[in-house]
Chain A
Amino acid sequence: MIPGIGALAQDTLWCFSQVKGTIEIGATEADIISTVEFNHTGELLATGDKGGRVVIFQREQESKNQVHRRGEYNVYSTFQSHEPEFDYLKSLEIEEKINKIRWLPQQNAAYFLLSTNDKTVKLWKVSERDKRPEGYNLKDEEGRLRDPATITTLRVPVLRPMDLMVEATPRRVFANAHTYHINSISVNSDYETYMSADDLRINLWNFEITNQSFNIVDIKPANMEELTEVITAAEFHPHHCNTFVYSSSKGTIRLCDMRASALCDRHTKFFEEPEDPSNRSFFSEIISSISDVKFSHSGRYIMTRDYLTVKVWDLNMENRPIETYQVHDYLRSKLCSLYENDCIFDKFECVWNGSDSVIMTGSYNNFFRMFDRNTKRDVTLEASRENSKPRAILKPRKVCVGGKRRKDEISVDSLDFSKKILHTAWHPSENIIAVAATNNLYIFQDKVN
C-alpha cells in the first residue's frame, strides 16, 4: 500500500474500522481523550486522557483468513501515567491530564514513550513479559520467603512460558523544570535529546539526565506587563537535530538553530503572514493564535493550525504560507458566541499523511476535514456512532451557510459545539487514521478493493 499515490482525499473512500471507548452518555470527564499518537511503525497507537491514563493499542497481525480486513487495533497496555498533584507553594492544583505523548523510535524489544502533563514529563518503558522464572530456592511459588532451615535441596530456577503480560514502568521523571503549563514535547532526531515547551520557555533534555535541562528559548519579558505573546507549540525538525520551530499566540512561527547560540531567543527564520485588515475584529488576536505546528515528514514544510484555517509554509519562504485551507470559515460570523462559550479557545491539532500529500484537522460536530494538497480537493467526514458499521463507507458531510439547506446538509446553527475533534493521528505509512471524539477513539481505514 503506497500512501499518497492514488490516495487522493476525494478518491479515497474512508471506511469505519473500529471505535474504542464507552457508548453511554454518562462518560466522565476523565475519559476525555486529550492526545493521540501512532508510533514510528504504526504498530502501536497511544492515547492519553484527562484522567492521566495512557492506553496503548497494538495492531494485530493480518491474518490470512481475512485478507480484506487489515489488522485491527486492540488494547495492548493501560497504565496511569500522571496523578493529580498539588503545588503547595503556589496553592495550585496540577492537572493530571496528558497533554502530549511522543514515541521514541524502537531500539530494542521494549517500547518507549514520553508522556507529559502540565508540569512533568515521564519516560515510560512498555515491555512484554511472556516467560516467568520458576523454582526459586529461597522463595516459594507465591513469592513468600522460605525459612532457610527448611531447605534441603537446591535447584536452578528455569524460565517457563506464561501468558503475555505487558508492563509499563516509568524509567525517567523529568520534573520541576517548568513554571508555566507544558504544551508540547518533541523528540530530537538524534534520539538522545528532546525538548519540552511551556508558555514562555523551551527546555532541552537528555533522556539520561533528569535533574538538569537546558533552557533554549525564553520569551518571558522582564516585566510581565509587557507580555504580548506566548509559545503555543514546538517541534524538532525530523532530520536536522539542530533545528526546531515554535509557534506563538500571535500567529507567528520561529525557526531556530541551536548551533547559533546556547539561548535561541533570536530566531533564524521568522514566519508571519500580514494580517488582512478587512477581517479585523474584536477576536482577531484569538483566532490568529496558532494551536499546533507540525513539520512535514520530508522536513521541507511546516503546517500550522489556527482557529479557522490550516496553513502550509515552505521553510524557504517566510513572508507568507504557500497554502491556506479554510477549515470552517462559516464560524467567522459566530466568533462572539464562540467567545462566550469558550469554544474560541479550543486548540485543534493537524496532521500530515505519510507522503505529505494530504493534511487533516478536526472541527465541531465531530467533523474532521482532509485537504489534498495536490488536487486541492477537500472532504468533510464525521465520526459518529451512526456510521459505525464495520467497513461502512463514510459519507462526505457538508455545512450549509446560506439560506437554502439541502437534504444532507447541516446548517451552521445546528452544529454541536460540544462535540469537537481536537486530536487526530495518521498512520506513518498507510491510510489509517485515528480520530478522538471526546471519549471515543475512532479508527478509519481506506477502502481496500
Chain B
Amino acid sequence: MECALDAQSLISISLRKIHSSRTQRGGIKLHKNLLVSYVLRNARQLYLSERYAELYRRQQQQQQQQQQQQQQQQQPPHHQHQHLAYAAPGMPASAADFGPLQLGGGGDAEAREPAARHQLHQLHQLHQLHLQQQLHQHQHPAPRGCAAAAAAAAAGAPAGGAGALSELPGCAALQPPHGAPHRGQPLEPLQPGPAPLPPPAPAALCPRDPRASAACSAPSAPPAAAPQAAAGASPPASPAPASSPGFYRGAYPAPSDFGVHCSSQTTVLDLDTHVVTTVENGYLHQDCCASAHCPCCGQGAPGPGLASAAGCKRKYYPGQEEDEDDEEDAGDLGAEPPGGAPFAPCKRARFEDFCPDSSPDASNISNLISIFGSGFSGLVSRQPDSSEQPPPLNGQLCAKQALASLGAWTRAIVAF
C-alpha cells in the first residue's frame, strides 16, 4: 500500500485528478478540487524548498571558488542582472554575485561535480532536519515569513551576509504568505523558540518589505553556529523523515514565505550543463500586487487565499476564454500521442530546467492554460537563446509548470 511520497509524483497525481474531474459525471466538484489544490500547494512547497536548498548550497560552494578566482579575474558586469532562479529584480546588488555564468566559470565545474553532489545530499538531509524541527514548532501550517524562508536555506549556509541568498521569490510564483512579518509583527511567532537551528541569515532572506527586514535581521548571531551543528546532526536525522510514510519530509513552510518579489522573469540554471534559460514567469503581475507584501504595488489587504488578486483587474488570456468550450473538449487535453491518460507518471526529476517549446506543444500547453488559467501563459514564450529541447508534455512537464507558475491550480477552480 505504499506509494511514492515525493513531491513530484504527488503533483502529477493531483494534476491528473483535476484533469479527470472535468470529464466526470455530475460536473466538476468544487470541494474535491479545492482539496486537491491544497495537496498541490503542499507538494510544490516541498519541491521548491528542496530545490532552493540544493541550488543555494551549490551557489555557496561555487562562490567560494569564485572568490579565489576573483583575485585573478574581474567579473563581467553583465552578469549582474541575471539571478539564479526566481530572483527579484532590485535585489541587493550582492545577490547578483550569483550570476550563473560565474558558476560555470572555469573548467573545474566537472571536477566539482562529485563533491558537489555529495554536499548536495548532505545539504538535503540537513535541510530536512531543520524543517522537521521547524514543523514541530510552528503553530500554523500557513507559510510564515523569514523563519521558514531562512530555514530553507539554513542548512549549510554561512551566517548571514546580506545577499547570501538570491532565490527569494519564487514566491512570486507562490501564494502570498500569511506570515507575521508581513503584518509588521516581529518574528517571534515564527521562530522555533528553543530550536537548535534558529533561522539563520535572515537578513539575506527577508523579503524586501522594510518592516520585515528589520525584524529579520535581528537574530543573526546564533545562525553562525547553526550550520556546523546541523551538519553534525544531519546524518542521524536523515533516516527519520524519510522513514515516516504519510508525512512529507520537512519543508512545510517553504520558500513561499519569501513573499515579496515582483520579478516577471525567471532565469534558471541547468546545473548539469550550466546553461542559462530565461523564461517569462508564469504568474501575473496582479497576483503579485495582490500580495500585501509587495512594496512595488503597495496593496493593502493581505490575501488569505491561495492566490489573491483582490482589487486587481483580472487578465484574460485567450486560452482561458475558451474554458467553457473546452469543457466538451476535455478529451483534447489528452491530445498527446498516447491515447491513454494524458499525464504520464513522471520520473524522479533531475534538476534540469525546462523550456517549453512553443511550436509543437503549443496546443497542449494552451490546453493546459485553459484548465489552469493564465498562470501558464508565461511559459509559452521562451528566449531564443535557450537550447534545451522541448520536453514531452507529460506529468513531468505539467508538474514543472505547476511548480513554476503562480496559483495555477487555483485557477482550475476559476475555470469551473
A277 in contact with B411 (CB, 8 Å): no
> How far, in angstroms, from A222 to B247 measured CA to CA in the complex?
34
- Closest chain B CB from A416 CB (angstroms): 12
B310 in contact with A223 (CB, 8 Å): yes
Q: Mark B1-28, 1 if CB is under 8 A from A, else 0.
A: 1111100001001000100000001110
A280 in contact with B2 (CB, 8 Å): no
* A/B interface sample: 20 pairs, CB < 8 A: A92-B26, A180-B30, A181-B29, A181-B30, A181-B31, A223-B309, A225-B411, A226-B305, A226-B310, A227-B306, A275-B140, A277-B137, A280-B135, A280-B138, A283-B246, A284-B141, A289-B31, A333-B246, A336-B245, A345-B32
> How far, in angstroms, from A91 to B324 measured CA to CA in the complex?
8
A199 in contact with B137 (CB, 8 Å): no
Q: Is A337 an interface residue (CB 8 A)?
A: yes
Residues of chain B contacted by A199 (CB below 8 angstroms): 30-31
B42 in contact with A95 (CB, 8 Å): no
A277 in contact with B139 (CB, 8 Å): yes
Q: Is B213 an interface residue (CB 8 A)?
A: no
B34 in contact with A226 (CB, 8 Å): no
> How far, in angstroms, from A150 to B110 measured CA to CA in the complex?
110
A94 in contact with B26 (CB, 8 Å): yes
Q: Is A332 an interface residue (CB 8 A)?
A: yes
Beyond the given pairs A228-B306, A284-B42, A333-B244, 6 more chain A to chain B contacts, judged by CB atoms under 8 angstroms and listed by A's residue number, are A92-B26, A93-B27, A183-B31, A230-B34, A283-B246, A289-B31
Nearest-CB residue, chain A, relative to B16:
A340
A281 in contact with B136 (CB, 8 Å): no
Q: Mark B386-410, 1 if CB is under 8 A from A, else 0.
A: 0000000000000000000001001
Nearest-CB residue, chain A, relative to B14:
A339
Identify A332's interface contact among B46, B141, B246, CB under 8 A: B246
Nearest-CB residue, chain B, relative to A231:
B31
Q: Mark A179-217, 1 if CB is under 8 A from B, else 0.
A: 011010000000000000001100000000000000000
Identify A92's interface contact among B27, B34, B42, B303, CB under 8 A: B27
7 tightest CB-CB pairs across the interface, nearest first?
A: A226-B305, A285-B38, A95-B26, A92-B27, A333-B246, A336-B3, A224-B414
Q: Mark B29-44, 1 if CB is under 8 A from A, else 0.
A: 1111011001100110
Number of interface residues of B (CB under 8 A): 53
Identify B407's interface contact among A93, A118, A225, CB under 8 A: A225
> How far, in angstroms, from A57 to B223 measured CA to CA in the complex?
70
A94 in contact with B35 (CB, 8 Å): no
B35 in contact with A280 (CB, 8 Å): no
Q: Mark A64-97, 1 if CB is under 8 A from B, else 0.
A: 0000000000000000000000010011111101
> How far, in angstroms, from A232 to B141 measured CA to CA in the complex?
22
Q: Mark A309-336, 1 if CB is under 8 A from B, else 0.
A: 0000000000000000000000011111
Identify B39's interface contact among A90, A94, A339, CB under 8 A: A339
A285 in contact with B310 (CB, 8 Å): no
- Closest chain A CB from B109 CB (angstroms): 35
B305 in contact with A336 (CB, 8 Å): no
Residues of chain B contacted by A403 (CB below 8 angstroms): none
Residues of A within 8 A of B (CB): 87, 90-95, 97, 118, 180-181, 183, 199-200, 221-230, 232, 249, 274-275, 277-278, 280-286, 289, 332-337, 339-340, 342, 345, 413
Identify B26's interface contact among A118, A222, A224, A345, CB under 8 A: A118
Q: Is B366 an interface residue (CB 8 A)?
A: no
- Closest chain B CB from A411 CB (angstroms): 11
Q: Is B317 an interface residue (CB 8 A)?
A: no
Residues of chain A contacted by B411 (CB below 8 angstroms): 225
In chain B, residues 180-219, which have Cβ atoms closer than 8 Å to a Cβ of chain A?
none
Q: Is B252 an interface residue (CB 8 A)?
A: yes
B35 in contact with A289 (CB, 8 Å): yes
Identify A228's interface contact among B1, B2, B304, CB under 8 A: B304
Contacts known (A181-B29, A227-B413, A345-B32); A281 close to B137, Cβ less than 8 A: no
> How far, in angstroms, from A118 to B1 measured CA to CA in the complex?
33
B247 in contact with A280 (CB, 8 Å): yes
A336 in contact with B246 (CB, 8 Å): yes
A230 in contact with B407 (CB, 8 Å): no
Q: Is B314 an interface residue (CB 8 A)?
A: yes
Counting chain A CB atoms within 10 Å of each CB, the highest count among B31, B34, B43, B413 belongs to B31
Nearest-CB residue, chain B, relative to A91:
B327
B308 in contact with A223 (CB, 8 Å): yes
Residues of chain A contacted by B1 (CB below 8 angstroms): 334, 337, 413
Contacts known (A95-B26, A282-B39, A285-B38); A333 close to B245, Cβ less than 8 A: yes
Counting chain B CB atoms within 10 Å of each CB, the highest count among A199, A225, A282, A342 belongs to A225
Residues of chain B contacted by A95 (CB below 8 angstroms): 25-26
> How far, in angstroms, from A274 to B327 measured CA to CA in the complex?
39
B305 in contact with A334 (CB, 8 Å): no
> How far, in angstroms, from A63 to B342 measured CA to CA in the complex?
62
Nearest-CB residue, chain B, relative to A229:
B34
- Closest chain A CB from B343 CB (angstroms): 14
Contacts known (A93-B25, A336-B245); A223 close to B31, Cβ less than 8 A: no
Q: Is B385 an interface residue (CB 8 A)?
A: no
A91 in contact with B34 (CB, 8 Å): no
Q: Is B328 an interface residue (CB 8 A)?
A: yes
Nearest-CB residue, chain B, relative to A287:
B35
B245 in contact with A249 (CB, 8 Å): no
Q: Is B279 an interface residue (CB 8 A)?
A: no
B139 in contact with A91 (CB, 8 Å): no
Residues of chain A contacted by B17 (CB below 8 angstroms): 342
